[in-house]
């Protein structure tokens, strides 16, 4: 969405930013001294960034649909996996790195013929004793292949806990945000249905076809219907042989709310059908209760929308997510109301 509020793209910026954070944390903080002289920092950074992205994609894409308890359960599971990854990495380092003359040396898991013979003759010798007896030359005791295998295992596991931790924190933050933005049902005011047209829909989405307007309208449709709202939109709910203007008027009358996707295109000269129909169906009092401008681009509001606050999506970092604010304004769906 232009203006920094694109509902389909906002998560991508978070994903890239968090992947960069993971890479930056993995490179300098988790490189064992025994790996110096190789390129484990780059490997750890790339691995951590990749895993962070893989963990966060489903969380960020579905953030509007996740219940808070799902986010908290995910956070706990990811934290547990992060702890397990840290302990596993620590175990790998303990097995593959030994101290020699005050420095760490990577050893292997498969011994050379010389090393196996010495170990057989001196079974009480530790890996540290073996490297000491070999004068610090680990390749006399272990095969080069097994040493390189251990080096790769250390490099790949030393930063494994970082993406789990980041994903856990993000999931917990999403859960906390979902709880914080929940509006108690008692504080929501439902718009009264018109006497001659009982509410059939929760929402009618009015928008100008083309460009970002159509994209946002379809995203709103999916987000609202996922939460059980009954939504009317022209390209799906208007009969093919019906009058567009008559169908639009019908949907406005039969909907508790009309959400207008507001952009400069919505008020283009020569396209005044929406203004005429909304003004005819809803007087100013009804408009203030039942019309919700969903502003996706900066635009001067016309007189017939005067006094209606609407939902401004153009802020780069809104305090409340626009879709969450819209759902709070709508209140429970019709299906929920009918069962209460």
Say if residue 161 is in the same domain as residue 26: yes
Say if residue 24 is in the same domain as residue 167: yes
- Within a domain: 172: yes
Phi, psi (deg, nearest 5) at residue 187: -90, -5
The model scores a pTM over 0.75: no
- Within a domain: 233: yes
CA 37, 154, 101, 112 torsion-angle sign = negative
Domain of residue 294, CATH code: 3.40.50.10140
124, 154, 180 - which closes a domain: 180
Say if residue 218 is in the same domain as residue 158: no
Burial 245-273 (b: 16+ CB within 10 A, else e): eeebbbbbbbbbbbbbbbbebbbeeeeee
- Within a domain: 35: yes
Q: Give the structural domain span for 135.
A: 10-180
- Within a domain: 185: no
DSSP bridge pairs for 312? 295
Q: What is the pLDDT of residues 230-241, one digit of tens each?
A: 999 999 999 888
Angle at 82 between CA 78 and CA 84, to 5 degrees: 115
**Locus of tokens 């009358």:** 253
- Within a domain: 174: yes
154, 180, 206 - which closes a domain: 180
Q: What is the pLDDT of residues 57-110, one digit of tens each?
A: 665 555 555 556 666 787 688 778 878 877 888 888 888 888 888 778 888 888
- Within a domain: 2: no
Distances (CA, A) of 141 to 101, 172, 205: 17, 48, 73
pLDDT truncated to tens, each residue of the chain (340 aa)? 444 344 444 555 655 565 566 556 555 555 565 565 555 555 555 555 666 666 566 655 555 555 566 667 876 887 788 788 778 888 888 888 888 887 788 888 888 888 888 888 888 888 888 888 888 788 888 898 988 888 888 777 776 667 766 766 666 666 665 554 433 333 444 444 444 456 889 999 998 887 788 889 999 999 999 999 999 999 999 988 888 888 988 999 999 999 999 888 888 745 556 777 887 888 888 888 899 999 989 888 888 887 888 898 888 777 888 889 999 999 999 875 444 3
CA-CA distance, 19 to 301, in Å (whole number)? 39
Say if residue 334 is in the same domain as residue 227: yes
Q: What's the number of domains the chain is made of? A: 2
């Amino acid at each position: 969405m232009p203006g920094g509020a694109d509902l389909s793209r906002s998560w991508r910026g978070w994903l890239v930013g968090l992947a960069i954070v993971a890479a930056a944390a993995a490179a300098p903080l988790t490189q064992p001294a025994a790996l110096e002289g190789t390129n484990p920092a780059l490997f750890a950074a790339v691995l951590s960034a990749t895993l962070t992205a893989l963990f966060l994609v489903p969380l960020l894409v579905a953030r509007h649909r996740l219940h808070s308890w799902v986010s908290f359960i995910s956070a706990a599971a990811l934290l547990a996996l992060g702890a397990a990854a840290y302990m596993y990495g620590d175990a790998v380092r303990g097995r593959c790195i030994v101290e020699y003359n005050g420095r760490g040396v990577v050893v292997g898991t498969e011994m050379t013929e010389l090393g196996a013979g010495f170990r057989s003759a001196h079974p009480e010798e530790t890996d540290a004793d073996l490297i000491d007896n070999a004068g610090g030359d680990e390749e006399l005791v272990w095969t080069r292949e097994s040493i390189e295998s251990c080096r790769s295992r250390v490099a790949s596991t030393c930063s494994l806990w970082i993406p789990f931790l980041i994903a856990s924190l993000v999931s917990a933050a999403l859960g906390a945000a979902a709880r914080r933005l929940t509006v108690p049902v008692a504080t929501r005011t439902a718009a009264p249905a018109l006497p001659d047209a009982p509410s059939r829909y929760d929402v009618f989405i009015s928008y100008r076809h083309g460009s970002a307007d159509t994209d946002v309208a379809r995203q709103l449709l999916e987000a609202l219907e996922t939460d059980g709202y009954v939504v009317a939109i022209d390209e799906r709910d208007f009969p093919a042989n019906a009058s567009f203007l008559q169908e639009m008027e019908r949907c406005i009358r039969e909907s508790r709310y009309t959400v207008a996707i507001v952009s400069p295109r919505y008020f283009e000269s020569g396209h005044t059908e929406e203004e005429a129909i909304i003004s005819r169906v809803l007087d100013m009092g009804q408009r203030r209760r039942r019309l919700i401008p969903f502003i996706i681009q900066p635009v001067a509001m016309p007189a017939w929308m005067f006094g209606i606050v609407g939902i401004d999506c153009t802020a780069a970092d809104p305090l409340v997510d626009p879709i969450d604010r819209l759902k709070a304004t709508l209140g429970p769906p019709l299906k929920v109301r009918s069962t209460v």
